[in-house]
Every structure is written in structure tokens, then in C-alpha cells.
Amino acid sequence: MAISYLKKATKTSASDAGDVQETVRSILAEIENDGEAAARRFAEKFDKYAGNIVLTREEIDAAAAQVPQKLKDDIQFAHDNVRRFAEAQKRSIVDFETEVIPGLVAGQKSIPCNAAGCYVPGGRYSHIASAIMTVTTAKVAGCKHISACSPPRPDVGIAPAIIYTADLCGADSILAMGGVQGVASMAFGLFGLPQADILVGPGNQFVAEAKRILFGRVGIDMFAGPTDSLIIADETADAEIVAADLVGQAEHGYNSPVWLVTTDRALAERVLALVPQHIDKLPKLNRQNATAAWRDYAEVIVCDTREEVAATSDQYAPEHLTVHAADLDWWLERLSCYGSLFLGEETTVAFGDKSSGPNHVLPTSGAARYTGGLSVHKYMKIVTWQRSTKEASKQIAVATARISRLEGMEGHARTADVRLAKYFPGENFDLSAEDL
């Protein structure tokens, strides 16, 4: 495999992760012990906010009144697209039953989680789209109670557009609380909330660590790291658009990796020249994030063949994968490791991030090798059931007794024995693990 790096990252997503585990663990323990009082203390400390935590209907309506109608229309458009895609996903989950052997029927049933907790970032950027992605999908799944929490601005509260969006999408409770304290409030069932069965949504490293520590006591969507994006391009790609797409994802944060993998060296060199120009045109905060991400984490890789490109992409297993290349069907069939795939110049990661329909909460840091992103399926438990006739249980019981005894699990074996004795009195069965 002939691969060359025109630009090599000096850092990885783990380089500046920092040791936040003990800090988060301490905060969680204090909130679990002291409850709402501790959560309020941390809200005042970190969010500089001492206002109402669970928003009232009056507060929600007041926030909605501050949102311009044009933005409301855009939010409704995005919500409808995400809802329609989620509804299609739900239809793909089929309850069924099948006769395994004559008289033994087994089945599958999907059951939504009762309570979902959705985290909506509101720090550097007001993530309106994250409210759409998390709350809408939980609503379609059929969760009985959906909580949404978002960091309030100091002495102001949650951005009105986030409040409006969470309410539109179906949140039953909206909490003006961010960070670890917000996650903990949903997980522990504070402020009158039911304890969350699952916690979802993006957040900073403290939010991600809180979800990681709580995993097991509650479900989570996935383990999260900094967002990352990879672009595949060939000689047909437009360098300007490729550069814009790379910068568009690098602005997420200083440690957000972006990668270009191409078969065209001339294109790669052109993109390398264009990216700084695109970064320089961004607003200050966005420019600072993109500059650091491009300097420290970005890579530009040239391969000889498209098979090498595909293999390299699969190795990186990016959160977002965009293809600017000919024969898009070939790439759709060949690529296997990504959170979400964007095929062709006509689509881009930002479409998926904001409004096109598929969810934007996706696996990062190579996790796309083994999992997909947030979906209706994440909020649903796929459970099984079975029912047997007495006659069918005969064969099952004999096999169960023998296997159990071979494993040394005599108690298991005897649950089969008693049924054989009751249902088939007078019959003799070989229930030992050894050959006669």
C-alpha cells in the first residue's frame, strides 16, 4: 500500500484529554449524597446561574415569543425531517414470533425506555440541532418521559431557541442546568424528574466523563470524544468545496480532527493552500478553534488507488465521512466504518448536523468500527419471549438437564428434571452428562 502524508497530525484526540475523572466522580458523589442542593451549588459555581431550574410553561412560552418566525420555520423543517427519518427507523424494527421446534414458540418484542435524558450543549455554541436530534428521536421511540437539560447563560438562562426547540420536539421537562450537574440531575431523578433510563446527547469532556461513569446504572448513547471528520476525494473533486468542508468541521473545537484522503496529489496540495484562507475568514472564536484543530490534528493523505483510500478510511473509522469522488455506489458498497456517510458534493456534514434527517449524534474516536450513531433503536430494548407446550418441553428439558450437568450447574438441571417428572410420569430419561 503506497500512502504518503502531506500533512501529519502532531496530536491525537487523547493528547489534551486531561484527567477529569476524579473531578467528575467527586461532583457526582456529592450530588448523589446531597441531592438538589448540591446540584444547585454546582450550577451557581459553574454556570453562574441561580434562577429557576425546571422551566415553567410560562417561561417556555416567553422564550418561544423571542424566537423569530423565520428561525421557527427552519426548526420545524429540521424537526420534520428528523422525525420522518426516525419514524422510518422505527418501522424497521419488527416484532415477530417463530416456532423453533414444534410446540415451542419464541419471539422478539421492542419496548421503549420509560425515561430519557437529553443533554443539549449551550456553551460556545447554542446547539439547537442537538435538541432536535435527541428529543425528537426519543419521542418517536415512545419514551414516556423526556427530559432535556442545557447550560444556562450566567444570570440569563437557556438560549430561547433551545427552549423552543426542546418543547416543539416533545420534551416533558426542560432543565436550566448544564455540565455534570445537569447529567446527574437527570440520572438521579432530581427536581421532580423520573430517573433516566438512558442519557444521550453530545457535550464537553466533563459531560462525556459523567455519562461514562454512570454507564451501567443508566444506559448511554455511546462513549464520546471530540468530533472528527474525514473527506475522501479524487480528481473530480472541487478543491474549494473540500477545503470549506474541512474547515466547517474543524471549527467545532481546538481538538477536532479533520482528515483528507485522496488519490490526487494536485488536489491535496491545492486544499492545503486553500484551508488557511477559509479559516482566516471565520469569526474570531470559530477561527481560533479551526486554526488549532487544523494545525495540530489535521492530516492530508495521498494514496495510489481508491482501494487504498477506502482501507485508510476504514482504519480511521471517522464520525463523519464525506465522499467527493466518482462512482458513489462503489464507495457506498465498499466503505464499512463510519458514523454517517455523506455521498457526493451535493451533500455535506453540516446538512446532517442540522436538518437533513439522519441523526447527528455519532460515534467518535474510532468507535464507528463497532457501533452506529443515535437512533430510535438506542431508546428501545429488543427483548425476547418464549412459550412452550408440555410435549415440546420434553426435548428441551432433556437437553437442558444434560448441558447443565456438564457445566456443573446442578440447580439448573433439576429445574428441567422436575418438569419431566411432572409432565411425563412413568417415563425414564437419561439426564446425566456422561455417555452410557
How far from the centroid of its chain's Cα atoms is residue 129's Cα?
14
User: Is the CB of residue 149 less than 8 Å from the CB of residue 52?
Assistant: no
CA distances 354 to 74, 278, 333, 377, Å, are: 10, 21, 26, 20
Alpha helices in 159-238 (DSSP H): 160-169, 179-188, 205-214
Q: How many CB atoms lie within 10 A of CB 396?
A: 17
SS3 228: coil
Instruction: Name 151's Cβ contacts closer than 8 Å, sequence gap at least 6.
Output: 47, 121, 122, 123, 158, 177, 178, 179, 182
320 is catalytic: yes
Alpha helices in 15-113 (DSSP H): 21-34, 36-42, 57-65, 69-91
319 is catalytic: yes
Q: State the Cα–Cα distance between residues 30 and 21, nearest whole angstrom.
A: 14
User: Is the CB of residue 371 less than 8 Å from the CB of residue 322?
Assistant: no
How far from the centroid of its chain's Cα atoms is residue 161's Cα?
22
Alpha helices in 197-283 (DSSP H): 205-214, 239-250, 265-280
Per the residue annotation, which of 59, 252, 319, 324 is the catalytic one? Answer: 319
Instruction: Name 391's Cβ contacts closer than 8 Å, sequence gap at least 6.
Output: 102, 103
Output DSSP code: residue 215.
B
Q: State the Cα–Cα distance between residues 230 and 212, nearest whole angstrom.
A: 25
CA distances 329 to 69, 82, 344, 396, Å, are: 39, 24, 10, 47
Per the residue annotation, which of 145, 252, 320, 360 is the catalytic one? Answer: 320
Question: Which residues are known to be catalytic?
Answer: 319-320
